[in-house]
Structure 1
Amino acid sequence: MKATIERATLLRSLAHVQSVVERRNTIPILSNVLIDASAEGGIRLMATDLDLQIVETIEAAVDQPGATTVSAHTLFDIVRKLPEGSQVQLSAAEGKMAINAGRARFSLQTLPRDDFPIIAEGELPTKFELPAATLRQIIDKTRFAISTEETRYYLNGIFFHVSDDAQPVLKAAATDGHRLARVTVQRPEGAEGMPDVIVPRKCVAELRKLLEEVDGTVSVSLSGTKVRFDLGAAILTSKLIDGTFPDYSRVIPTGNDKLLKLDPKSFMEGVDRVSTIASEKTRAVKMALDRDKITLSVTSPENGTASEEVPGHYAAQAFEIGFNARYLMDILHQIDGDLVEVHLADAAAPTLIRENDNAPALYVLMPMRV
């Protein structure tokens, strides 16, 4: 194999594929990236961790077609340190790959391409397209709520499902048991009858990185066990989480009659300020609500006390409620408008947070005892 590629093109593509590769691997070939130069010109880069696979095609001048595998992180580090604007020449033969650019010369060990594992996709019967901007919005507004608890593995991803509400919709939800985020978008053509799927956290993170460079639409193909995102130059394939996502709609409150309206930015800044002295473990902030008067306070046995009044509109009866400051700020961070509605019931009931009735995203936050 012999090919020449512009450094910037190779670096951008390697940045995508090497992040799929785990730093520690018991199977040596999983540390490698597959580089496949075709006779038609162009190079295919491929990496996998056996659950997630990325394939990216880039332009290159191919002198001699062929394929090999080489350490993904090492190659990425080499290309990153090469001079800007340089042409990188890759040539592989007899278990070695030579990397030449300008005056720099490298030689790396390779492993045969035949040993490289490829995820068998099987049949992916559901196919639809989503605008890249919509997919970005879905991920950005839900992924902060994905659970990191390995014991509840079925919460370690974003749950996608279709439903027929007033009109056909596609819903995406994530929860860690303390907070819930859900985004509702119009159901794309072809998604009717799709199975309920849980897309794993790592796939979500890699997909979000790739979406940075996509303006058009993304083709989504899925079955009950696999999903594939076709982003043009890159194709991301992932196994789905084999588990049942809980019926989250049961925790979305419908009868919260106390309505608080405030500016999310000044509210978040107030929460951030008073939580400076909150203990690392609980991060609890208390919210005292009175007619058009909202007082945030924190009491910490180690550090002292803090309080701040924030402006807001509240006309219901006075009461106090406590929240985890970080969880509350994570949600407020997702609100784009200059008004947020907080629907409350009492100090122990789940609280509903959203921009307004028509906003695609809604959030549920469990209170804390303070």
Structure 2
Amino acid sequence: MKIEVYRDHLIPALISVASVVERRQTLPILSNLLVKTLENSLVLTATDLELQISCNVEGTIDVPGAITLPAKKLADICKALPDNSVIKLEVADKRAIIRCGPSRFMLSTMPAEDYPGLEGDSVHQSFEIDTELLCRMFECTSFAMAHQDVRYYLNGLLVQIHSGKLVLVATDGHRLAKSELLMPALDAWEQEKQLIFPAKTVSELKRMLGGKFGATTIFEIGDRSVVIRIGKNVLTTKLIDGRYPDYERVIPYSLKYTTTIDRETLRNALTRTAVLSYEKQKGVRMTFADGSLKLEVSNPEHEEAQEDIPIVFNGDDTTIGFNVSYWLDVLNAMTGNLVEVRFSDSEVSSILVDPESDGELYVVMPMRI
């Protein structure tokens, strides 16, 4: 095996696949990545047996072949090489020699035939979606996923297909983020489909989508796994086995009041007041009154912060406690200039909506302060 590849072409693919590799492995070969040549390119593949990423890189193939190389060492070496340099890789006598200008490295290898690839299920259904739109949907929902919750299905992100819509939902039981997109191509899907993506898959998929490896993304859906094609790169993932809860039941659509606030003004005010919030509770008291929104926080050290924001509101004075971090997560996820807040009282969850982004909705539960 003998190949040449530009360092700047190799690095993005190398970073994508190497991120799948866990530090501790039950199988030593899983610390490696598979390097396999095609006619005018090479394919890098890494897996942890739950998630697999393959990235295609243009290169000059002098002698074709396949081998596995230590993922972290290879990535660290290539990242330390000069920009715009050419990397030469040659495999002989179970050793890989990497040359770049005056630099020379020798790495151990393991046979390609021993590499345990992750194969997707038989494809039952597939669809195609604009990569930029899909990236936005993941960005504005994934932050609400649970972490190490005993309800294991909440530790992932729901991708739901029904009634001609693609819907992404994440919740940790205290807040919920939802993004939906009308897709006429999905009208033919008579049966609802629920896919629960693991958190690691969501993280790696966001990285690949953000890299804009392809203008469109293709989903190929099997019984227990999904293959996602972004340009010439492929992500294969197993799904979380379980039924996601009925999230529509926790969305309070009939709320008494509505007000619209400048997003940046509110975000900055919450950021300042959060400095003095009680670390364990992160509580902020919000009082919606005639013409203003008052933000108040305090902590056990008897320190206090207060902010007043002008708003258009003519209802009864209403005070509700919230976790300030949940609000900041939502405001940071939004991209518009305004945020529409819908609320009733301190016993009912509130809804935040970006008026400039159709299909995005956020629910935040109140808390006692």
TM-score (structure 2 length as normaliser): 0.95
For structure 2, list consecutive stretches of 5 or more residues without a partner in the other structure. Answer: none
Rounded Cα–Cα distance in structure 2 between residues aligned with 1:263 and 1:324: 20
> Partners in 2 of 1:199 and 1:187 — Cα distance?
20
Q: Which residue of 1 aligns with 2:312?
A: 313
Number of residue-to-residue matches in the alignment: 366
Give 1:194-343 correspondences, 5 Å limit: 195-214=193-212, 216-302=215-301, 304-343=303-342
CA RMSD, Structure 1 to Structure 2 (Å): 1.5
Is the Cα–Cα contact under 8 Å of residues 130 and 188 in structure 1 kept in the other structure? no
Q: Are 1:10 and 2:6 counterparts?
A: no
**Alignment check: 8 A CA contact 1:261 1:342 kept:** yes
How many Å separate the matches in 2 of 1:337 and 1:84?
37
Q: Is the 8 A contact 2:260 2:339 kept in 1?
A: yes
Deviation string, structure 1 residues 295-343 (Cα, Å, up to 9, x no partner): 1000111251111101111121112101111111111122222222111
- Tell me the equivalent position of 2:176: 180
In the alignment, the residues of structure 1 paired with residue 245 and residue 365 of structure 2 have an alpha-carbon distance, to the nearest angstrom, of 16
Q: Could you say what secondary structure the match of 1:196 adopts?
A: strand
| C-alpha contact (below 8 Å) 2:290/2:315 kept by paired residues | yes
How far apart, CA to CA, are the structure 1 residues paired with 2:316 and 2:132?
41
Q: Distance in 2 between matches of 1:36 and 1:169?
A: 38
Contact 2:336 2:356 in 1 (8 A): no
Change (3 A) 1:194 1:21: farther
Read off the aligned partner of 2:235 and give its amino acid letter. L
Distance 1:154 1:367 in 2: 23
Are the equivalent residues in 1 in contact too, given 2:336–2:355 (CA < 8 A)? Answer: no
Report the AA paired with residue 201 of structure 1.
A
Name which of structure 1's ranges 286-295 and 348-357 shifts more when overlaid on structure 2: 348-357
Cα pair 2:156 2:197 within 8 Å, conserved: yes
Looking at structure 1, the residues matched to 121 and 273 of structure 2 have their Cα atoms a distance apart, in angstroms, of 53
What is the Cα deviation at residue 105 of structure 1?
Answer: 0.9
322-331 vs 144-153, which deviates more? 144-153
Does the CA contact (< 8 Å) of 1:124 and 1:226 recur in 2?
no
* Contact 1:196-1:224 at 8 Å conserved across structures: no
CA distance in structure 2 between the aligned counterparts of 1:4 and 1:357, rounded to whole angstroms:
48
Given that residues 33 and 68 in structure 2 are in contact (C-alpha distance below 8 angstroms), is that contact kept between their aligned partners in structure 1?
A: yes
Distance 2:253 2:6 in 1: 57
Work out the CA distance in 2 between the residues paired with 1:358 and 1:45. Answer: 37
Shift of 1:4: 1.0
The structural deviation recorded for 1:264 is 1.4
Deviation at 1:83, TM superposition (A): 1.9
Residue identity (%): 36
Which residues in structure 2 correspond to 1:72-87 (within 5 Å)? 72-87=71-86
Distance 1:50 1:303, change over 3 A: farther
2:34 — aligned with what?
Answer: 34
Q: Deviations over 1:266-300 (max 9, x none)?
A: 01111111111112111100011211121100011
Secondary structure, in 3 states, of the residue corresponding to 1:111? coil
Provide the C-alpha distance between the structure 2 equivalents of 1:68 and 1:188, rounded to a whole number of angstroms.
44
Counterparts in 2 of 1:356 and 1:41: CA distance versus 1, 3 Å: closer
Instruction: Output the CA distance in 2 between the equivalents of 1:42 and 1:55.
Output: 13
Distance 1:231 1:358 in 2: 24
- The answer (yes or no) to whether the contact 1:259–1:315 under 8 Å persists in 2 is no
* CA–CA distance in structure 2, aligned partners of residues 347 and 51 of structure 1: 42
Q: Gaps (5+ residues) in structure 1?
A: none
In the alignment, is the contact (CA less than 8 A) between 2:148 and 2:155 conserved in 1?
Answer: yes
- Equivalence map 1:85-96=2 (5 Å): 85-96=84-95
1:64 and 2:35 are equivalent in the alignment: no
User: 1: distance between equivalents of 2:356 and 2:264?
Assistant: 20
> What is the aligned partner in structure 2 of residue 170 from structure 1?
166
Query: Cα gap change, 1:356/1:86 in structure 2, threshold over 3 Å: closer, same or farther?
Result: closer
2:121·2:224 contact (CA, 8 Å) conserved in 1?
Answer: no
- 2:202 maps to a residue whose letter is V
TM-score by length of 1: 0.95
